[in-house]
Amino acid sequence: MNWINKVTPPGLKTIMLKKETPDDLWVKCPISGELIYKSDLEATWNVTPAGAHLRISPRTRFRLLFDDERWEPVSLPPVPLDPLKFKDDKPYPARLKAAKAKVAARDLKETEEGGAPLLQEDCMVAAYGKVGGVPAVVLVQDFDFMGGSLGMAAGEAFITAAQLALARKSSFVVCTASGGARMQEGTLSLMQMPRTTLAINDLADARLPYVVVLTDPTSGGVSASYAMLGDVHIAEPGAMIAFSGPRVIEQTIRESLPKGFQRSEFLREKGQVDIVCDRRKLKGTISRVLSHLLPLSHRRDDRSSIMLTPPKTHADKLPQPKGAAD
């Protein structure tokens, strides 16, 4: 027996056992291997000193992009939860329940110092606000929710957000993060690819800008549809952007792929990505792009004098402009 246990009073031993250390104080950089204090990492929007862009939540993305960290939430329509009655080793509704509990716990932690929860029922979260003074609807895909997989809920969310941009004559910004189509919804998932494409065509007909922010990873059916149909494609450094992963391709063609293949820098060299932008400069970059693409007449937003949200929160639904209901 350890001699310390013999001489330690029982009361002190109990206090020592009760002392708990949080298990998420440090984050390891995937590039350098350096351990970074989590609060320091949050201060740089989850960008490590070595330049690794770690994933961030939809709330953090909204705080990063919207002016004064204020936004109006967009309510997204419900969809049938399990139309195909899909079941593998776990029923699909059980997977959805677990995913919702995961993002709800994260959001609760993010709002410990105040703030309302996000309106999130699936992998998409939408909000309206101003990015560098330019009105915009921002749609964020959450990889933490079943890998950001594209299903009926995500498709409806995309179309709803695009229609809101049309109604308010604002720009539309989508931040992608997905492993592809949701297999539990089969063909119904694949149907969202042409449906979202039609929504993008409506934006083009109205001459409203559609900007895509490609984050790590963006792949599968998402990269084969709305992720690659933007007026401007902005990618975060090191993001994996592909249809099939490199391992699948190498096994198929039986050849080694070039270094950096399917990363944002490689795709910029090949002309598939317009801008590779550090996350800390992302808001300014998007603002400049939107200011060039959105007609000046559409930037005169009669909601500009209305307070949107306090930091880290969302606001009640804003009143519609006159004539919007007609």
Tens digit of pLDDT for each residue in 153-169?
999 999 999 999 999 99
Q: Report yes or no: 119 and 153 within 8 Å, Cβ to Cβ.
A: no
How confident is the model at residue 118, as a pLDDT? 85
Q: Is the dihedral of CA 84, 200, 231, 236 positive or negative?
A: negative
Q: What is the Cα–Cα distance from 249 to 274, expressed in whole angstroms?
A: 24
How confident is the model at residue 23, as a pLDDT? 66
How confident is the model at residue 113, as a pLDDT? 66
Q: What is the Cα–Cα distance from 31 to 292, expressed in whole angstroms?
A: 35
How confident is the model at residue 306, as a pLDDT? 39
How confident is the model at residue 197, as a pLDDT? 98
Listed as ranges, residues in the chain with pLDDT below 70 are 1-23, 113, 297-326
Total-model pTM: 0.86
How confident is the model at residue 24, as a pLDDT? 77
Three-class secondary structure of residue 4 per DSSP:
helix
Delimit the CATH 3.90.226.10 region(s) of the chain: 56-299
At the topology level, CATH places domain 56-299 in 2-enoyl-CoA Hydratase; Chain A, domain 1 (3.90.226)
